[in-house]
């Protein structure tokens, strides 16, 4: 199996994502995210996310 073949099933539609309402940690606006927010972890809206993507290094 090649490295790129590990996804399996490739290209099928899983249907609409379940969205979860939360409040942005920066601007305090209500927003929706495609994951269940975890208490104690920051969540950013679409507008604020780009500011944080560059500052985070893994």
Whole-angstrom CA distances from 8 to 2, 3, 12, 24 are: 11, 11, 10, 34
Residue 45 in any domain: the answer is yes
Q: Please report the pLDDT score of residue 12 as a whole number.
A: 67
Residue 3 in any domain: the answer is no
Residue 12 in any domain: the answer is no
Residue 56 in any domain: the answer is yes
CA distance 24 to 44: 5
Query: What's the domain range around 24?
Result: 17-58
Q: Please report the pLDDT score of residue 29 as a whole number.
A: 97
The helix/strand/coil state of 32 is strand
User: Which pLDDT tens digits describe the chain residue by residue (58 residues)?
Assistant: 555 555 555 666 778 889 999 999 999 999 999 999 999 999 999 999 999 887 556 5
pTM score of the predicted model = 0.63
CA distance 11 to 13: 7
Q: Please report the pLDDT score of residue 3 as a whole number.
A: 55
Residue 55 in any domain: the answer is yes
């Amino acid at each position: 199996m090649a490295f790129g073949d590990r996804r399996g099933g490739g290209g099928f539609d899983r249907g609409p994502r379940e969205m979860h309402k939360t409040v942005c940690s920066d601007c305090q606006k209500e927003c929706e995210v495609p994951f269940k927010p975890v208490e104690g972890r920051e969540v950013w809206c679409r507008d604020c996310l780009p500011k944080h993507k560059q500052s985070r290094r893994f």
